[in-house]
Amino acid sequence: MYRQSYKIAGQGKWIVAICGESYILIKKLTREFYIMAKKLFGTDGVRGVANVYPMTAEFAVKLGMACGQEICRGRKRAAIGRDTRISGEMLEAALTAGLTAAGVDVVKLGVLPTPALTSVTPELGVDMSFMITASHNPYQDNGIKLIAADGDKFSDDITSRLEEIIAEDNFVLSSDVLGTVSENKEAVVLYLEKAKSFIESERPLKGLRVVLDCANGVFSEIMPQVFMDLGAGVIALGNKPDGRNINKDCGSQHPEQMFETVRGAHAQLGIAVDGDGDRIVVCNEKGEKIAGEQLIAFLAQTLKAEGKYHGNAVVSTVLSNTALERYVRSLGMDYYSTKVGERAVIAKMRELGCSVGGEESGHIVAADYGKTGDGMVTALLVSLGLLKSGKKMSEIFPLFDFDPFVFVNLRVKDRDTVKAAVADEKVKNAVQAATDKMAGNGRVVLHPSGTEPVVRVWVSGSNEALVRELSSSIVDEIKRFQ
């Protein structure tokens, strides 16, 4: 018997049981309730281990049929892109089968960066696109992101409806209405035209020596070639994908080799992206990492000085260092903080009409040149800004000193354990006590990852000793769940 307490909403054959921020679909039969399906979609699509539910061919077929039935009602046409991991072709084939069974024509785009797919989707004449990727995760994982016809992510209401359709497993198919399959290899060309729209001369990166770590992912061929075409001297790392080496000891999650190579090659900077290309890590000529908040501030400052900034505001999340707000305001700009997640940042940026926002993790959005975080666009903007300054990276950064902070990622068994830890009374009491002690002079954030079995604890304030003490008090409680 299921013993956890739920608030029940809805009526009819299916109802929703709500517990915190998650829910479970329940099928009503006479006076009894049977739990049928847990929430599948996280903050950025569905993700898991390949060949383990929900990252199975069977699930992908059903997702394709559900999307064909619920979303693809207009043009009856969908596009699919994927990263370089070995399970991508399996999931692509399964999605294609489900979509075509539902009468949807499928356009296969092959290996393509996530920011490229969000950028070109509005030009493809499709009802939606799918990106098959697990982003910065190891090759054993995979995921499916859903992208609307306008290039944006779908709302929670839409994904909830898809979950319900999949749980019901009652699809309406016809032998008279079947979709076709085609390929489009030109999508990347269209993306590059948009991504380089701010380039004002033929070889603006001439004289730049840069190390590019492509994570053996989607930018492995694209990014080194673009930088070389623009005049840069390039040392490429992580640019030989084999299906199993994506993000392995390379890329934004493991930039150590990039740091070392920059020092040894006397490069001006190093740039590492993740497997699907929407995250970036940058280092200076000494191989020292530059924080994401510093990059956000640099882009805002540079674009504003060049008269290319819109909205006069910068957006980041509650996990960003509190010193970023003071610096942005010193530039005469407004600052806004959102909940964690790129979708929240982008939504606020659109509300304000501003040009730059992002997360400290390296998802940086230059809204005038793309719809989502884009590692290559950010890399180009930073590189151009560096050359125009005439300075070394170490002479530019840091733009401002950080407030003392402690940021801890605690990995637990699984995502259910994450939910249990966040809901635990002792953990909640520790967070509340820390917040009270800060008394408005800092920030305390407990954030469950939406894509990994990780609980993040972030504490910042002017008193370093107090920051460390309060962080430890929360971390110690969460460690009980490891």
pLDDT along the chain (482 residues), means of 10: 35 41 41 49 89 97 97 96 98 98 98 97 97 96 97 92 94 94 95 93 96 98 98 98 98 98 98 98 98 98 97 95 95 95 94 97 95 97 98 98 93 91 95 91 87 90 92 96 92
pLDDT number for residue 2: 31
Question: Which residues pair with residue 9 across a beta bridge?
Answer: 16
* CB atoms inside a 10 Å sphere around CB 73: 10
Pairing assessment for the beta strands 209-213 and 181-183 based on DSSP bridges: unpaired
Alpha helices in 169-267 (DSSP H): 187-195, 222-229, 256-265
Instruction: State both tokens at 203.
Output: 């070889």
Residue 240 to residue 248: CA distance in whole angstroms? 12
**pTM for the model:** 0.85
pLDDT number for residue 32: 38
- Measured distance between the N- and C-terminal CA atoms of the chain, rounded to whole angstroms: 26
Instruction: State both tokens at 392.
Output: 């070394």
CATH 3.30.310.50 region(s) of the chain? 405-481
Residue 130 to residue 108: CA distance in whole angstroms? 10
Residue 386 to residue 145: CA distance in whole angstroms? 34
Digit-coded pLDDT (tens) for 71-96: 999 999 999 999 999 999 999 999 99
In total, the chain counts a number of residues equal to: 482
pLDDT number for residue 12: 41
Note whether 62 and 32 are within 8 A (CB). no
pLDDT number for residue 11: 41
Catalytically annotated residue among 119, 129, 135, 383: 135
Nearest to 299 by CA among 380, 394, 211: 380
Residue 117 to residue 133: CA distance in whole angstroms? 12
pLDDT number for residue 9: 38
Phi, psi (degrees; rounded to nearest 5) at 264 = -70, -30
Residue 263 to residue 37: CA distance in whole angstroms? 51
Instruction: State both tokens at 217.
Output: 């992912």
pLDDT number for residue 38: 55
Residue 216 to residue 280: CA distance in whole angstroms? 14
Give the DSSP H/E element, type plus range, for residue 105: strand 105-111
CATH of range 46-190; options 3.40.50.970, 3.20.20.70, 2.30.22.10, 3.40.120.10: 3.40.120.10
- Its CATH architecture, for the domain 405-481, is 2-Layer Sandwich (3.30)
383 assigned to active site: no
Q: What is the DSSP letter of 195?
A: H
Note whether 328 and 314 are within 8 A (CB). yes
Place of tokens 């077929």: 61
Note whether 303 and 309 are within 8 A (CB). yes
pLDDT number for residue 444: 93
Residue 266 to residue 278: CA distance in whole angstroms? 27
Phi, psi (degrees; rounded to nearest 5) at 337 = -115, 140
Instruction: State both tokens at 454.
Output: 């990780």
pLDDT number for residue 192: 95
Question: Which residues pair with residue 42 across a beta bridge?
Answer: 45
- Indicate the SS3 state at residue 415: helix
Tally the C-alpha atoms within 13 A of residue 102's C-alpha that lie toward its C-beta. 29
- Its CATH architecture, for the domain 291-402, is 3-Layer(aba) Sandwich (3.40)
CATH 3.40.120.10 region(s) of the chain? 46-190, 205-289, 291-402
The highest-level CATH class for domain 205-289 is alpha beta
pLDDT number for residue 283: 98
Residue 90 to residue 447: CA distance in whole angstroms? 33
Beta strands in 354-426 (DSSP E): 356-358, 364-366, 405-411
Note whether 273 and 363 are within 8 A (CB). no
For the chain, the helix, strand and coil percentages under 3-state DSSP, each to the nearest 5:
35, 25, 40
Residue 435 to residue 106: CA distance in whole angstroms? 50
Phi, psi (degrees; rounded to nearest 5) at 315 = -120, 135
pLDDT number for residue 450: 73
Alpha helices in 10-153 (DSSP H): 57-70, 88-101, 114-120
